[in-house]
Amino acid sequence: MKKTIINFLATLKNYSILKKGFLIYPFSKKILPILCSLYKEGFIQSFKIINSGFDVKFFILLRYVFQKPIFQDFKILSTPSNPKFISLEEISLLSERRATFFISTTKGILNLTECKQHHLGGKLLFLCV
């Protein structure tokens, strides 16, 4: 996983813990699929791309339940120096009861159930608790 994605996830976690309402982050094509997956899984409330002249940024609304942040703990599973891959057989052994795994596949960034539906393995990115 690229360093820009790791920095983005750390910033998102820090803003959630500080109970900020929103986050404005510089645009990157590498972050867009991560944001779409986080939105689809319900870890963020919404996001949009703001284009103001030469500067393009993400505007991300953070999600809270009973004043507690949803996105407060995550674990990076693959680093640039140590990528970790998972096969379809290994995916079938994991369960999504406590954590949501995000896996980079040929069809984009998917969670465990989507990988099982598409019969795909891939590179483990991170998990959210």
CATH 3.30.1490.10 domain extents, the chain: 74-128
Q: What is the CATH number of domain 3-69?
A: 3.30.1370.30
CATH 3.30.1370.30 domain extents, the chain: 3-69
User: How far apart are the C-alpha atoms of 87 and 98, rounded to whole Å?
Assistant: 21
Query: Considering only the top CATH level, what class is 74-128?
Result: alpha beta
* Digit-coded pLDDT (tens) for 38-70: 999 988 999 999 998 889 999 999 998 888 888
Averaged pLDDT for residues 76-98: 85
pTM of structure: 0.87
- Specify the pLDDT at position 97: 73
Whether the Cβ atoms of residue 128 and residue 102 lie closer than 8 Å to each other: yes
Whether the pLDDT of residue 71 is over 80: the answer is no
Whether the pLDDT of residue 1 is over 70: the answer is no
User: How far apart are the C-alpha atoms of 67 and 30, rounded to whole Å?
Assistant: 30
Averaged pLDDT for residues 67-76: 82
Tokens of 33: 């699929």
List the alpha helices (DSSP H) in 18-105: 32-41, 88-93
- Specify the pLDDT at position 80: 83
* Digit-coded pLDDT (tens) for 6-21: 899 999 989 988 989 9
Whether the Cβ atoms of residue 99 and residue 126 lie closer than 8 Å to each other: no
CA dist 5 → 28, 111, 117 (Å): 9, 17, 26
Burial of 67 per CB tally in 10 Å (0-12, 13-18, 19+): exposed
Whether the pLDDT of residue 89 is over 70: the answer is yes
